[in-house]
Amino acid sequence: MPVAVVLGMQWGDEGKGKIIDLLSQEADIVARYQGGHNAGHTICFDDKEFVLHLIPSGIFHEGKLCVIGNGVVIDPSALAEEMEDLNQAGIDLKNRLVLSDRANIILPYHSVSDRSREKEGKFQKIGTTGRGIGPSYSDKIARIGIRACDFLDENRLREQFHVNYQEKKKILKHLYDLELPDFDSMFRDLLSFRKMILEYIGDTQSLLQKAIAENKKILCEGAQGTMLDVDHGTYPFVTSSSSTAGGACTGLGIPPTKIDRVVGVIKAYTTRVGEGPFPTELHDGDGQMLRDEGHEFGATTGRPRRCGWFDAVVARHAIGINGIDALVLTKIDVLDKFEIIKVCTGYKHKGNVYEKMPADLDCLQNCEPVYTEYEGWMANTVGVTVYDELPEKARQYIESLGKLLGTQFLMISTGPQRNYTIHNGTLF
């Protein structure tokens, strides 16, 4: 089984960083397929904590090649900063990191436009990370984006950037009364990243296809989560990329027929940041306790995350859309102090009960979750590494989730450290 996709099943922040870091040990190549530096993957080891935004978590394992695919949008300054942090930590990126020459570049006016749109009362507020992700993907789809390969020819880059600059300047002035810095200084800033981009770009599609032909093991890393997918999430409260399994094909150039396995990472409860519907959200002491016990604050923006019970409607939707054949359950230890734990199995709305994810926002925003209650185990599970050593009620909770979703668990995470994990098989 040489190609596996590992992705989030909720609204992001499922704890993918730690899981991908662990599973990377089995892979030859770790390839990120969508999103940008809106993602925040936290990895803890040797009493240190690293937050990666763009570079795949496999970078912490020597000898693994990390790929940033064509489906990712790259902010050169964010990339340079992340590279510098990794260098400081003694990680050499030479021959370890390849950026797709087809990846679109996030330009400074993208984040200006993202933040201004969010501030302006007349547009729908999404609660974005303000990193320019949406505007950059908009330019990509509008076919006016600038790609990594455009840095090859400085004159052509200048021309392309100039055309875009003129357009953005007018739009930002007209809509938000904002002035962009002058063209020359913006272009100079952009050019300062040319050397770095040219040093790391490559034809990642061919590289990955060759690796598949050589039977190398490839882990395709998803960012955000299924419910933030631009097509299959809670639109318009989503990110602007395809975070579901299909995104691995388009975002890396890997044919669908070559994907052997899809693993879904899911938290033992639910969180989301930003605006948008969240049927099992808790506004009471239980919600606060989930936030406190789970340290639920955004890895990228530091925003407090909204917290709620596990939602099996979301989980089933993710399993269906992604073809998930194994689950990784994270943060089970966060439930250690709850006397009662609830799981949502359907949404009640206007006399109907929905077991499938409705598209209609009115239903998602105004439904009443149908809950099954479980007795909490009220015991410490932090750091448990053997399944049978979990309290009986914790095992019952996990097994009920498995039955409800008809899918097996590949791993169960009992804390942020690498070794706080119960393993039940291998990825490849």
Contact 239, 196 (CB under 8 A): no
Beta-bridged to residue 100, according to DSSP, are 202
Asked if 247 interacts with ligand IMP (CB under 6 A), we say no
Torsion of CA 144, 148, 151, 156, to 10 degrees: -20
| Cα gap 263→324, rounded to integer Å | 5
Which residue lies nearer to ligand IMP by CB, 70 or 381? 70
Residues labelled catalytic: 13, 41
Stretch that binds ligand IMP, among 88-96, 128-136, 151-159, 403-411 (CB under 6 A): 128-136
Q: How far is the CB of 107 from ligand IMP (least distance, A)?
A: 15
What's the farthest any 2 CA atoms get from each other in the chain? 67
131 binds ligand IMP (CB under 6 A): yes
Q: Given the complex with ligand IMP, which of 126 and 219 has the nearer CB atom?
A: 126
Using CB under 6 A as the binding rule, whether residue 357 contacts ligand IMP is answered as no
Residue 13 CB, nearest approach to ligand IMP (Å): 5
Cα–Cα distance between 417 and 325 in angstroms, integer? 25
- 294 versus 346: smaller Cβ distance to ligand IMP: 294
Q: Does 39 bind ligand IMP (CB under 6 A)?
A: yes
- SS3 string of 46-107? CCEEEEECCCCHHHHCCCCEEEECCCEEECHHHHHHHHHHHHHCCCCCCCCEEEECCCEECC
- What span, in angstroms and rounded, lies between the C-alpha atoms of 155 and 151? 9
Residues 210-239 binding ligand IMP (CB under 6 A) are 223-224, 228, 239
- Specify the residue, 287 or 346, whose C-beta has the smaller distance to ligand IMP: 287
Closer residue to ligand IMP in complex, CB, 115/348: 115
- Residues between 4 and 33 with contacts to ligand IMP, criterion CB under 6 A: 11-13
Is 7:328 a contact under the CB 8 Å cutoff? no
Q: How far is the CB of 342 from ligand IMP (least distance, A)?
A: 23
Please select the residue that binds ligand IMP; options are 42, 240, 242, 407, rule is CB under 6 A.
Answer: 240
Q: Are 331 and 401 in contact (CB under 8 A)?
A: no
Q: How many CB atoms lie within 10 A of CB 331?
A: 25
204 binds ligand IMP (CB under 6 A): no
81, 102, 127, 172: which one contacts ligand IMP (CB under 6 A)? 127
Write down the number of H helices and E strands in the chain: 13, 20
Q: Can residue 55 be called a binding residue for ligand IMP (CB under 6 A)? A: no
Which positions lie near ligand IMP, rule CB under 6 A?
11-13, 38-40, 126-129, 131, 133-134, 223-224, 228, 239-240, 273-274
